[in-house]
A and B are shown apart, each in its own frame.
Chain A
Amino acid sequence: MLGLGVAITTVMGIRNILDIAIGGLITKGETTWIVPIILGVLLFTRFFRQVAWLSRWPLALLVGIGIGISLGSGIDANFITQIRSTITGVKDINQALLGVMVILTITYFIFSIGKAQREKGVLKYTAQLGRYIMMICFGALFGNTVMTRMALFIGQMRFLLFDWLKLG
């Protein structure tokens, strides 16, 4: 299985290089493919000790692009939209409690607090409550996943025993 997986990935990688990059450059004349081809080749310089440092450039570029893309979309999706959804339509106690729980949970993840605050400040208690809230949430998520898997298992067993083998 492992060998098969690696083999498929290798073949797909080679085909992508030949069809998309080199094919695009030669047959369609898309010169921009030169950049990724050069960066890809630079990755292999690590096999030659004298120029091995060159292999860090494509990696640095990949990390930079990744962080840049995730920062832009991440702030909107994971910060602004989440806050807006939490504070939208607070009409009953459940919605208000949800908001309070979010605040308490965030305080658990505040790390740069002084020793005095950590030992007897209000953050000590809010962080503790935040931890309990997370544990309740994890318990619910765990239970939910187990129940889903059990439901799938029971469904398949019903199909095998009653529909396929006609035992019932």
Chain B
Amino acid sequence: MMKSLSGFITLLILCGSVLYMIYRARKGVKPEIRRVPGFDVIDEAIGRATEMGRPVHFTKGLASLYSSEAPQTIAGLSILSYVARKCAQNGIPLITTIYVAETIPLVIQMYREAAAVAGVPEWVNEYNIRYMSSHRFTYATGVQGVLQRERPAASFLMGYFMAEALIFAESGFLAGAMQVAGTASTSQTPFFVAVCDYTLLGDELFAAGAYLSGEPVQVASIAGQDVGKYWANILLMVGLILSAVGSNWLINLLKL
């Protein structure tokens, strides 16, 4: 529940800017967003798996569809959709390990759509969509097993992760997989940065989902969110200057 007036105004600014950008995109004005090097690495990893004739592994982490980390899962699913399309086009198996059971139908649908777009409906093999467990370390053990047995050439870790992040990344490394990770979980990002070949940092995960989907509406929503970042920077700059000269005006305003 919204607790403060300042929070409500910020919410209005954020939602307003996102809706405005989406409105513009629907009118045909697609905003330009910068390409992050990590986006290219996704293609490179899939290309590597194709050349080696080995499968690709994907996990979208631990967050459900209704927790505060849900946006990370949704971004992970957007990237999964792209990865599935590429794998279907190249004819290589994509193994998705699942922690949250509710996402299974979404993943199956993505596999089917990817196969339909690529014109290879026979590519869908539901055995490759593997529900492990909804207990964190049981899930981690299951993913470790998949990585060791199947030896994927590429492993994507996109979504919300906790202490098991390093278990996945180390197992993928030992299996010889090229690993691309992406998470907005600050406590786990250092481990991904240390072990994986490329890491999408924080908001890059959300941008990747939108960028790779190529949909003007999703790209517009990223541009709309940027307004929120400018808003945060303005508040910080004004606040720092005022605070340095001993004024608590903005701090009190943000408490309203």
Chain A residues with CB under 8 A of B232: 79, 83, 106
Instruction: Give the distance in Å from the alpha carbon of A70 to the alpha carbon of B106 in the complex.
Output: 21
Is B28 part of the contact surface with A, judged by Cβ < 8 Å? no
A83, A106, A135: residue with the most chain B Cβ atoms closer than 10 Å: A83
Instruction: Give the distance in Å from the alpha carbon of A76 to the alpha carbon of B138 in the complex.
Output: 34
Is B202 part of the contact surface with A, judged by Cβ < 8 Å? yes
Instruction: Give the distance in Å from the alpha carbon of A68 to the alpha carbon of B192 in the complex.
Output: 30
Determine which of B33, B186, B189, B255 lies in contact with A111 in the assembled complex, contact meaning CB atoms within 8 Å.
Answer: B33
Chain A residues with CB under 8 A of B32: 112-115
Residue of A nearest to B6 (CB): A80
The segment out of B44-52, B68-76, B147-155, B173-181 that lies at the interface is: B68-76
Taking a contact as CB atoms under 8 Å apart, the answer to whether B74 and A2 are in contact is: no
Taking a contact as CB atoms under 8 Å apart, the answer to whether A90 and B1 are in contact is: no
Chain A residues with CB under 8 A of B4: 76, 80
A138 CB, min distance to chain B CBs, angstroms: 4
Taking a contact as CB atoms under 8 Å apart, the answer to whether B190 and A141 are in contact is: yes
A152 CB, min distance to chain B CBs, angstroms: 13
Instruction: Give the distance in Å from the alpha carbon of A71 to the alpha carbon of B10 in the complex.
Output: 11
Is B145 part of the contact surface with A, judged by Cβ < 8 Å? yes
Is B66 part of the contact surface with A, judged by Cβ < 8 Å? yes
Determine which of A70, A89, A142 lies in contact with B68 in the assembled complex, contact meaning CB atoms within 8 Å.
Answer: A70
Residues 1-33 of chain B: 1 if any A CB is under 8 Å from the residue's CB, otherwise 0?
Answer: 111101100110010000000000000000111
Taking a contact as CB atoms under 8 Å apart, the answer to whether A72 and B135 are in contact is: no
A70, A89, A107: residue with the most chain B Cβ atoms closer than 10 Å: A70
Taking a contact as CB atoms under 8 Å apart, the answer to whether A9 and B134 are in contact is: yes
Taking a contact as CB atoms under 8 Å apart, the answer to whether B67 and A59 are in contact is: no
Instruction: Give the distance in Å from the alpha carbon of A114 to the alpha carbon of B226 in the complex.
Output: 13
Residues 39-80 of chain B: 1 if any A CB is under 8 Å from the residue's CB, otherwise 0?
Answer: 000000000000000000000000011111111001000000
Instruction: Give the distance in Å from the alpha carbon of A55 to the alpha carbon of B103 in the complex.
Output: 12
Instruction: Give the distance in Å from the alpha carbon of A1 to the alpha carbon of B70 in the complex.
Output: 27
Residues 199-217 of chain B: 1 if any A CB is under 8 Å from the residue's CB, otherwise 0?
Answer: 0011110010000000000
Assign chain B's interface to a size class. 35 or more
Residues 131-164 of chain A: 1 if any B CB is under 8 Å from the residue's CB, otherwise 0?
Answer: 0001100110110010000000000000000000
A binding-site residues for B, Cβ under 8 Å: 1-2, 4-6, 8-9, 43, 46, 55-56, 59, 62-63, 65-67, 69-76, 79-80, 83-84, 86-90, 96, 99-100, 102-103, 106-107, 109-115, 118, 134-135, 138-139, 141-142, 145
> Lowest 5 CB-CB distances: which A-B pairs, in order?
A66-B66, A87-B239, A5-B138, A112-B223, A90-B243
30 A-B residue contacts at CB 8 Å? A59-B102, A63-B65, A63-B66, A66-B65, A69-B66, A70-B69, A70-B70, A71-B11, A73-B1, A75-B14, A76-B2, A80-B4, A83-B232, A83-B254, A84-B254, A84-B255, A87-B236, A87-B240, A87-B251, A89-B243, A103-B236, A107-B233, A109-B203, A109-B204, A111-B34, A111-B222, A111-B226, A112-B34, A112-B226, A142-B191
- Extra A-B contacts (17), CB below 8 Å, given A70-B70, A103-B233, A111-B223: A59-B65, A63-B70, A63-B74, A67-B70, A70-B71, A75-B11, A75-B14, A80-B6, A83-B235, A87-B235, A87-B239, A100-B240, A109-B202, A109-B203, A110-B226, A111-B203, A111-B226
B binding-site residues for A, Cβ under 8 Å: 1-4, 6-7, 10-11, 14, 31-34, 36, 64-71, 74, 102, 105-106, 132-135, 138-139, 141-142, 145, 186-187, 189-191, 193-194, 201-204, 207, 222-223, 226, 228-230, 232-233, 235-237, 239-240, 242-244, 250-251, 254-255
